[in-house]
Each structure stands twice: as C-alpha cells, then as structure tokens.
Amino acid sequence: MSSFRSLALLTLAALFFAQPLPASAQTPLPPPAVPGATPPAAAVPVTDGSMQIVWEVRNRFRLFREERDFREQAEALNGLTVLASEQALGMQSEGRGWARNVVNRLCIDLTGRVSEPCTRDGVKESYLTPTEHPVTVRLGGAIPVGAICAWTFDDGDGPRNATQDCAEPINFRARYGKPTVATVDVTSGADAPQRVATEIMVRDFFIAGLGDSIASGEGNPDRPVALSDDGFCYRSYLGISNVGATAGQFYRPSRAGFKGGRACEAPDTLANWQRYSATWFNAACHRSLYSYQTRTALALAARHPHIAVTYLPLACTGATIPDGLFGSQRPRECFRTKSGTNCPSNVNGQIAELREAVAAARKRQPQRGLDLVLLSVGANDINFSGLVADVIVDSPTERGIFRRSGVIGSIEESRSALQRQLPQNFAKLRETLKGLVDDMSRVVYVTYANPALASRGVPCPGGPGGFDVHPSFSADPNRLAAVASFVDNEFLPRLKDLAQCTGGVLCRNPSADAMTFVDAHQRTFANHGFCARAETDPEFDRACFSPRGDSFTSDIVAAANSPMACGAGASNFRAYLPRARWIRDANDSYFAAMTFPQGLPAAIQPADIHDATWGVVSAVYGGAIHPSAEGHAAMADAAVPAAESVLSLQSAPDVTSQPLPPPGAVR
C-alpha cells in the first residue's frame, strides 16, 4: 500500500480520522500514478520488536456513559489497590465522594431500568448486546522523528485506511466478536516503509451482581444526604431517657434545605422531607456505586485495556433467597423525581430480572451469556439485622416494643435458620444458577466480614460510642460478644461450606457445583470494625463523635438550634474521608443516609417524619453495621483476583498499596 504524499490528502485524512471510523468506511482510492515515477518501495516487516502497535478499549466500563468518569477511575487505580484508590479519591473529593456526580451519568436509570439504547460518548449503543467497541490505537517504541503512519484496519468486511503523523493516536470502532487486523506502514525519509501488524479482538464480559445489602452497597449513598446545622425533633417512647431525651423528645441534625416543621409539634409531609434525601443509583434497593460488586467489575475494566465490561447490578438491600432473589420484595426507599418522589410497590426478584436480561441478550446475540456472577447472600436469611437490633437497642421500653414487632431477633432463632432454612434455600439457588452459567466456578461468592472486631480479632468492647444518635442505643458488651462469636464460629464457616459443597453440604456433583469462594478480606477487617478509632480519623469524627456516648446536646431547647455537643455544625461531616473503621456505626448511618425506611411491615412503619419508630429503624435498616466505601474497596481487592482467574485474565502487575498522603495533601 502506498503512502499519501499529497499535503492536501494528508490533511483530508487527518480530518476524517479525527472522528471514530464508521464500520462501513470504504478503502480510499490510491493517488494517481505519475508517468515515469519510481514505484514506492515495499514495506519491510519489523521483527525485532522496536516498534509495536498498542491499543486499548475506551470507556470500557460500559455502565458509565461518559469516558471522563471511567478515566478518573482508571487513573486512580493505576498501580494501586482498589482500597488505596478509594482513599485517594475520597481525599480528592474532600470526603464528598467521587460518585456524587457520576450517579446521573449511567446506562441504568434510577428505577433500575437498563437504557436501551444507551448513548455513550455521543454514540447510541445497545447496552446488553454491543455490536462494536471504541478503540484507541497508537504506535509505540522507537518511532523515527517526523514519521508518517499509513494505517489499515481490516475486520473482513473491507479495510479502512488512514494516514497521519505517527505521534498521533487513531480511533476506530472494533466489531463485537470479530478480530480486526491492524497494519501500519511507517515512512521516514527515503527509506523503505517499515510494517507493523497486530490483531485487535475485544473481549466483552457480561457480569451480574446478585445478593443483599452487603452486595448492593447499603450505607454508602452515591450522593450522601446534605446535613443541616439545625436540629430536627424526634419523639421518644420513653418520656425521659438516660441520654439526651427529655419530655418524650430529642433533637438530631436535620436535612439541609428542609424548611418544614422541625419541631415535633409542627409535623410536615413525608414528600417534603424526601425532597432532601440521599441519592442512590437505585433507591428502592439502595444500590450504590461504592459496592464491592461495582468496584470489582470496574477494577477489571480499568486494569485490562483489551476488554470491556457490561455490568448488570441487581443486588437489593433486605433481600433473602426466597424474597429478593426468587420472589419480589418491598422497596427500601422512594426515589426522587423532578416533581416529587416515586414509590414502587415492590421490587422484582433478581433471578427473574437476570433471566430476562440474558434472554434479551441471547435473542440478539445467540452466543451471548453470563461470564461472571458476583454473589453475597445469606445474612438476611438468618435475620442478621435482628441480631444487630438485639445488640444496639438497649432501652427496656424499646426492646419490648421491637421484640414484639420482630425487629429484634435472637441467636437461637438465627441458629435455627442457619441449620434448616438456609441450606435448603441455598441448594435451590445453586440449581437455578446452574441454568444461567455454564460453569459454577463462574459464580464468585464473596462472604461477609465480622463487623465487630476492634483490632487483631478482638471484639469491640461495646458501649454507646458510635450509637448515641438514638437515646435508646448502646452496644451491649455481652450480647455483642455472643453475636461476634456466632458470626465467626458458626455463620461464616457454614456459608463457606454451602458455597463450596463441603462440611456435609449435599451437592449433586461437589467438584462441579462448587462456587468460587472469596474470604481473603476477613483478615484485613479484623482491625477495622465499627469501634476502630485512630488519630488519622477525620477531624469532625474525633471532635464530635464521643466514645463516651455524649455526642449530642441533651438540653432540648439548645439542641433545636445546635444539636452537636462539640459546637461544630453537622454539615462538616464527610462520609467518604478515610477513617479507621470500615464498618458504618449508627451515627455514620444517620449522617450519611438518614434513611426513612418505607418497605417495612405495617407494625413498624413510621407514622410520620417525627415518629419514635423511624429514629430506631433508620439506623437498623439504613446502613449501620455495613461496610463503608473503604470496606467495600477492601472486599473488591479480595474479589478481583478470583474474578481474573475465572475469566482467564492475567493479574495486573505491580498493584501496590501505597501510604495515603496526610490529610490536606491531596486536593
């Protein structure tokens, strides 16, 4: 192939290839022959590796509509663990979180519906069944100064050509499922052109996320609730409490922007209150971009430039195997719209949603199938939230009320479910997943971490520290130790047996039915439970969250205007700054999400925004004792190598955990 010699043609080609190449582009005609001219010399293949064609898929985490969002993540992950990148991004955002703007630029809307098609970087694409991928190609190595590159891309449907300066990258769209042979002739001076060639083949992985609140990212809204420095009144069941509630009322920070009735005697509508709620990329399920499942899929895309990831998040907070994975479940919270809020009556079962998505994909691309399923489930099946309530609800009045309504559970009840219902439900789930993946090793089960360990595996001591957002809360040391022991010695080992067909768990074919099991993160969580504290914690946390449980102003008159005992405004709290605890405590849950739960049984559904019930259930059902963004990042660091192994991806080299810069160093 001859090079373009004419300056006019060179300029025209550069303008043409400044835009992505259309698949139908035809080979341009060669320049006319000049009578008596010497024909160009044949290109000489480069065999010593001095020059190479380097390529990568652009914006290859396909959930993101805009490349700038993917590029930010890829740059943050360059050479770092997911945890180190999350800490750096948290500092860069000054604790406000990297996802706060990205949440509005996804290929899945806030109701959970996949956008078909999805406009990504100005091009309409089918999300579940891409037909092509944007690729950037460069010539690397010892490139002669001023060299001109004549590129050819051939996927079997006719070559596409362009000529430009070798220092410039070139963009084109590679066909899905088809190799493209890329060839470049490098011309410099009077020497014969040198030829370099490679094959470009994009591997697009279809990855689904299933499970419960740990899988969805509960406790980590994509855009945290904005807090007011003023107080908001809650009623109390007690009339008088030992901590901060007088005459049946107590004040905690309000939502910024809320101008309605903040006093208990001045009620307002839930719709008005909801206008100022936190933002999730799916409020009904509290799905968050910070979840370990999203971070795992994103890290795979960032670390492997020759792949694309089509990610379908389906996990839902509150899900059990029967109600959530197989059957529908109640939504956790309404989502905001421009005109108010939208409250779906239920959330479809995740398995049904996944089957529908796979069927739709295979209808258009018969060979399309699930490459990977990320799964965490089982905690709600044994009523783990009931164990949390049993530990932290300390007042006898509230304990009696919530025991009768089913909010508070017991270890005996959880043990019975662990021995009887969970194994049966897990077996049903396994058989169902076998019909969706061609190999059960493609189901990566990421287990839970014990949330109640202070350091070196020693249980947290208990007490009101981290839980005094509600006057009836205090982590009872004895109940806490008993739950921590149950989790470590019974619950977590049994989950491993269920996933791996060991310990007496009956599977039809144990060697073929075992899931890929991930628990490497448990060792790191042993030093980062909900009670962990450090001198490097955010200044607000150290000054305003008291380990003694006196974080809030007890005088009801003063608390209406200044609810924090430290004198600082609650608006200074930052949910996504690095801190020692990787488990949200009740204070974190309130300050980050302030959930008004709406998917609860009628017996415990709050009657209004000042109701005594919602102060309790907001913490129990709104993210307390769930991993923070750092905790989810640590879980992703454990899950990524397992996913790479399943997908036959070579582990990314030189991923290191570098020391976090001191506070204030990153802006």
Q: What is the pLDDT of residues 547-589, one digit of tens each?
A: 999 999 999 999 999 999 999 999 999 999 999 999 999 999 9
Q: Are 490 and 417 in contact (CB under 8 A)?
A: no
Segment 422-468, tens digit of pLDDT: 999 999 999 999 999 999 999 999 999 999 988 877 889 999 999 99
Q: Please spell the DSSP secondary structure of 271-301, one letter per residue.
A: HHHHTT--B-SBTTTTB-TTSHHHHHHHHHH
- Band (pLDDT 50/70/90 cuts) for residue 245 is low
Cα–Cα distance, 248 to 526 (Å, whole number):
39
Cα–Cα distance, 640 to 354 (Å, whole number):
22
Q: What is the reported pLDDT for 236?
A: 86
User: The pTM is what?
Assistant: 0.91
Q: Which helix (H) or strand (E) holds 563?
A: none
Residue 664 has pLDDT above 70, yes or no: no
- Band (pLDDT 50/70/90 cuts) for residue 189 is confident
Residues 6+ positions from 476 with CB-CB distance below 8 Å:
391, 392, 394, 462
- Band (pLDDT 50/70/90 cuts) for residue 191 is confident
Q: What is the reported pLDDT for 39?
A: 55
- Band (pLDDT 50/70/90 cuts) for residue 28 is very low
Let me know how long the chain is.
667
Q: Are 464 and 474 in contact (CB under 8 A)?
A: yes
> Residue with structure tokens 């490139």?
143
Average pLDDT for 301-326: 97
End-to-end CA distance of the chain: 51
- Band (pLDDT 50/70/90 cuts) for residue 10 is very low
Q: What is the reported pLDDT for 14?
A: 39
Cα–Cα distance, 633 to 635 (Å, whole number):
5
Q: What is the reported pLDDT for 242?
A: 45
CA distances from 143 to 171, 187, 423, 567 (A): 19, 10, 62, 63
Residue 34 has pLDDT above 70, yes or no: no
Cα–Cα distance, 36 to 428 (Å, whole number):
79
**Residue 188 is encoded by which pair of tokens?**
């410099």
- Band (pLDDT 50/70/90 cuts) for residue 341 is low
Q: Are 166 and 186 in contact (CB under 8 A)?
A: yes
Q: What is the reported pLDDT for 30?
A: 42
Burial 528-562 (b: 16+ CB within 10 A, else e): bbbbbbeeebbebbebbbbeebebbbbebeebbeb
Segment 533-549, tens digit of pLDDT: 999 999 999 999 999 99
Q: What is the reported pLDDT for 32?
A: 46
Residues 6+ positions from 221 with CB-CB distance below 8 Å:
278, 279, 280, 286, 288, 575, 592, 593
Residue 323 has pLDDT above 50, yes or no: yes
Q: Are 405 and 640 in contact (CB under 8 A)?
A: no
Q: Are 163 and 144 in contact (CB under 8 A)?
A: no
